[in-house]
Structures are given as structure tokens and as C-alpha cells.
Chains A and B, each alone.
Chain A
Amino acid sequence: MADTKPNTPNNTSPQEGETTGYFGELARAYIVPQMYSRIWSPAEGLMKGTIFPELYRPYEPGMRP
């Protein structure tokens, strides 16, 4: 192996491999938090199913996610 450094806890800083904020930990699901910006009017939101343009994902038959 090219890397001859032993992979032991002594060579690892305490933070390495642990939490690096809420979008870096293994074995955990994350969703990007919504940042509120522009909204549609209530009437338009009712027609579309959401007042948030960033969450609008219209479907057409034949589409695959």
C-alpha cells in the first residue's frame, strides 16, 4: 500500500470522521432545509398544490423521477 501511515485513533484528530455539521455524518439521512423566498398568491398556490415555487414539481405521464 502506498499509504504506510498506520490507521489508528492516535493519528486521527478527535473531530475527524465525526460530525462536521448537519450535512456530513454517515448513516444518517439529510434534507436540505427550505429557504423561504418568493411565494405565489393563495389562489395560485391552491391550483398548483403549493405556494412555494421551489417545492413545485409538476408531473407529466411518462416522466420518471
Chain B
Amino acid sequence: MWIYEKKLEYPIRVSYTNPRLAKEIITQYGGPDGELAASLRYLTQRYTMPTPQAKAVLTDIGTEELAHMEIVAALVYNLIKNATVEEIKAAGLDDYYADHDKALYFVNAAGAPWVASYIQSKGDPVTDLHEDMAAEQKARSTYEYLIRLSDDPDVTDALRFLREREIVHFQRFGETLNLVHEWMDSKKVF
């Protein structure tokens, strides 16, 4: 179960209405390397982790990714909530608007909907942890591309926070991989 904190993990603000930037950032909501994929990946893989520590790391990071999904949602919504239909058309977000108005939906930057095949849950903890480390690197790259695309310093500030979290998570998954290898080696003794 979860306990909900009625505040964001990191406070966000946007400088001005910017549907073009929203269209790009939404990929970290529902894209292949986005926060929905990350949270569901870790919260699903945790069941087949072999040690309590490994389960706990996936639970903790999966939970934090839900908080990041909420940050990305808040960024996207604040960037589009006051946009006029003309601004939405000019930004190329009219395809999205036709189906969703200004509601949040899980799509990548090109509008393709989220699919479960973005993630794997393999039942092999070494394999899953390699996927998790790769996922953190892919998300870090995406945040770097979004930072380059961003023309809003307030949005860039939040993107920098989210990017740094990917680096910390990569380290934690790597340490967990070491622990899982150690656990597997200890089983060989018997």
C-alpha cells in the first residue's frame, strides 16, 4: 500500500504557456523511457527479486518513479492549461487535443500510446536489474534531450532534478546487482 503526500517531490513552476514544450515533455509521462514505464517496471519486477534488499530497492525506486510521473504530469498540464486552440494548433498539439482536450494521457512525444511492451519482467533478477540500469540511462538521455529542447528556465530546473535522480537510481540498481550476484554465489556453496 502507499501513503499519499499531497505535495510534489520537487516543487515545479512554468514560466509561460508553452504547448510545444508540453508535447515534448509528455514523452516522460507515457513514452518508452518515461516515468509510467519506469514505475510499473520496478513495481512489477520486485516480486521475483531473490532478497529482501532487492525487493525493497525496486519498491522504493518504483514508488519514487510514481512521484516523478506526477511531476511530469504537473509540468505538462501547467504548460497547456491556458493555451488557446490557435496556440495548440501552432505547436502541433492539435492531434492530441482532438482526442484528449487538455487532459493528461500516456503518449510519447509523437503521440503513440503507452504499451506494456516498453517493459519486461523476466523472472531472472540479473536480467531484470540490467534492464533497470539501462532504463535509468535511457531516461537520463531523454532528460538531457528535453533540457536542450527547453526554452523555459523553470521547466529546465525540474528536468535537471529528474535527470539527477536517474543517476542515483542507476547507482542503487548497480549496488543491488552486486548484492544479487553475491547472493547467487552464496547459494553455490551449498
| Total inter-chain residue pairs, C-beta < 8 Å | 55
Main secondary structure on A side of the interface with B: loop
Interface residues of B in 141-181 (CB under 8 A from A): 143-144, 147-148, 160-165, 167-168, 170-171, 174-175, 177-178, 181
Interface size on A, residues (CB 8 A): 21
Chain B residue contacts of A30, Cβ below 8 A: 174, 178
CA–CA, A20 to B143, complex, Å? 38
- A26 and B130 alpha carbons, distance in the complex (Å): 16
On whether the beta carbons of A33 and B178 are closer than 8 Å, the reply is yes
Once the chains bind, are B175 and A55 in contact (CB under 8 Å)?
A: no
Assembly CA distance A41 to B164 (angstroms): 16
Contact at A61–B178, with CB atoms within 8 Å? no
Across the two chains, which residue of chain B brings its CB closest to A51? B168
**A49 and B168 contact, CB distance less than 8 A:** yes
- 13 A–B pairs (Cβ distance < 8 Å), ordered by A: A19-B185, A22-B181, A31-B174, A31-B177, A34-B171, A46-B10, A48-B164, A49-B167, A56-B164, A58-B164, A59-B143, A59-B144, A61-B144
Query: B residues within 8 Å of A by Cβ?
Result: 10, 130, 133, 143-144, 147-148, 160-165, 167-168, 170-171, 174-175, 177-178, 181-182, 185
